[in-house]
C-alpha cells in the first residue's frame, strides 16, 4: 500500500493547476509489462489526445486515472488527490473524473433520464428535482433533450454516445476521459460526437482523449501524446507533432494513418 504521501487538497485552485500528474508509473498484467515509466502531467483546462497503434497501452493508461485498472508502481495524483488503495480517495477521484467509453456502456434497463439521474442522486446526494434539472441541461447541451424518456436501445450510436457524455457531465466532473469514443460509430455519426467534444473543450473542460481522429487532435488538442509498446514515445503540440515528428515510430504511424 502506498500511503505516507499525505498530500492534502491544496486550498488554492489556481488556473494553471495540475489536474492529473502521473510520475514514473509502471503496470503489469501478470509478468507482461503493459505500461513502462509513464510520466504525464495535465494542467487544468488542457486537452490531451493520446494516440498510437492498438495494444500500445493508451486505453490502459487512461483507465488507470480513475482506477478501472490498478497500477503497480509510481504515483498518480488527480486534482491533488493521490490515487492509492484508499477507497475514499478512489471514490473521490471517480466522482470528479467523468469517462466515456468506446461501447457507450449506457445502462440498457434505464431510460436516458434515469441513466443521467443515477450517479448525481446516489453519489452527490442531489435531490431528484435538482438532478433532473441538471440532466435536462446537459441533454440539451448534447442536443438530445427530447429523447429523455427513451431507452438507450431506441437511439442511434451517435445519440447513445452523446447521452453517455451527458451522463458523465451530470456529475459535474473536473476532468473528462474519452476512451476511443468514436471507434464503434458509423462514419456519419462520428461528426456529431466530435462536435460535442469540441464544444466541451471550448468551455474549458480538462480532457484526455484516446482517439484515432487526427482531425480532432489537430483542431482541439493542446498536446498530442504518442504511445508505442507501453511507453510514451513522443509528445508535443499538434503543429509540431503532425508536421515534424521526431521519433521514427511516430513518423511511420502518422504516415499510415494519414495517407487515406
Binding-site ranges for other proteins (CB under 8 A)? 63, 66-68, 91, 94-95, 97-99, 101, 103, 105-109, 118-119, 122-123, 151, 153, 164, 167-168, 171, 177
Q: Which is nearer to other proteins, 109 or 137 (CB)?
A: 109
At CA 76, angle to CA 169 and CA 17, rounded to 5?
Answer: 65
Q: Which is nearer to other proteins, 160 or 250 (CB)?
A: 160
Residue 85 CB, nearest distance to other proteins (Å)?
13
Q: Which is nearer to other proteins, 150 or 212 (CB)?
A: 150
Q: Which is nearer to other proteins, 101 or 226 (CB)?
A: 101
Residue 232, Cα to own-chain centre: how many angstroms?
A: 17
Residue 206 CB, nearest distance to other proteins (Å)?
16
Q: Which is nearer to other proteins, 97 or 190 (CB)?
A: 97
Mention every residue, 6+ apart, whose C-beta is less than 8 A from residue 215: 194
| Beta carbons of 7 and 77 less than 8 angstroms apart | yes
Residue 164 CB, nearest distance to other proteins (Å)?
8
Q: Which is nearer to other proteins, 27 or 67 (CB)?
A: 67
Q: Which is nearer to other proteins, 153 or 243 (CB)?
A: 153
Rounded Cα distance between 61 and 59, Å, is 5
In terms of Cβ atoms closer than 10 Å to its own Cβ (0-12, 13-18, 19+), residue 182 is buried
| Beta carbons of 51 and 44 less than 8 angstroms apart | no
Residue 108 CB, nearest distance to other proteins (Å)?
5
Give the other-Cβ count within 10 Å of 111's Cβ. Answer: 18
Rounded Cα distance between 199 and 4, Å, is 40
Residue 59 CB, nearest distance to other proteins (Å)?
11
Residue 118 CB, nearest distance to other proteins (Å)?
7
Residue 120 CB, nearest distance to other proteins (Å)?
9
Amino acid at each position: 500500500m502506498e500511503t505516507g504521501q499525505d498530500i492534502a487538497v491544496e486550498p488554492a485552485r489556481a488556473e494553471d493547476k495540475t489536474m492529473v500528474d502521473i510520475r514514473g508509473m509502471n503496470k503489469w498484467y501478470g509478468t507482461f509489462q503493459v505500461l513502462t515509466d509513464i510520466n504525464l502531467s495535465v494542467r487544468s483546462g488542457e486537452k490531451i489526445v493520446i494516440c498510437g497503434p492498438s495494444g500500445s497501452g493508451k486505453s490502459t493508461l487512461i483507465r488507470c486515472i480513475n482506477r478501472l485498472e490498478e497500477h503497480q508502481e509510481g504515483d498518480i495524483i488527480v486534482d491533488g488527490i493521490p490515487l492509492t488503495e484508499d477507497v475514499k480517495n478512489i471514490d473521490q477521484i471517480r466522482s470528479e473524473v467523468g469517462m466515456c467509453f468506446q461501447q457507450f456502456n449506457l445502462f440498457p434497463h434505464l431510460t436516458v433520464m434515469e441513466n443521467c439521474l443515477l450517479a448525481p442522486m446516489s453519489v452527490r446526494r442531489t435531490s431528484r428535482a435538482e438532478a433532473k434539472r441538471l440532466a435536462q441541461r446537459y441533454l440539451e447541451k448534447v442536443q438530445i433533450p427530447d429523447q429523455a424518456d427513451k431507452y438507450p436501445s431506441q437511439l442511434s450510436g451517435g445519440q447513445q454516445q452523446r447521452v453517455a457524455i451527458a451522463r458523465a457531465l451530470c456529475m459535474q466532473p473536473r476532468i473528462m476521459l474519452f476512451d476511443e469514443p468514436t471507434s464503434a460509430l458509423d462514419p456519419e455519426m462520428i461528426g456529431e460526437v466530435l462536435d460535442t467534444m469540441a464544444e466541451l473543450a471550448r468551455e474549458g473542460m480538462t480532457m484526455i482523449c484516446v482517439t484515432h481522429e487526427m482531425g480532432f487532435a489537430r483542431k482541439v488538442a493542446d498536446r498530442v501524446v504518442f504511445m508505442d509498446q507501453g511507453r510514451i514515445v513522443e509528445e508535443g503540440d499538434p503543429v509540431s507533432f503532425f508536421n515534424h515528428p521526431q521519433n521514427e515510430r511516430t513518423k511511420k504511424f502518422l504516415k499510415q494513418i494519414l495517407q487515406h
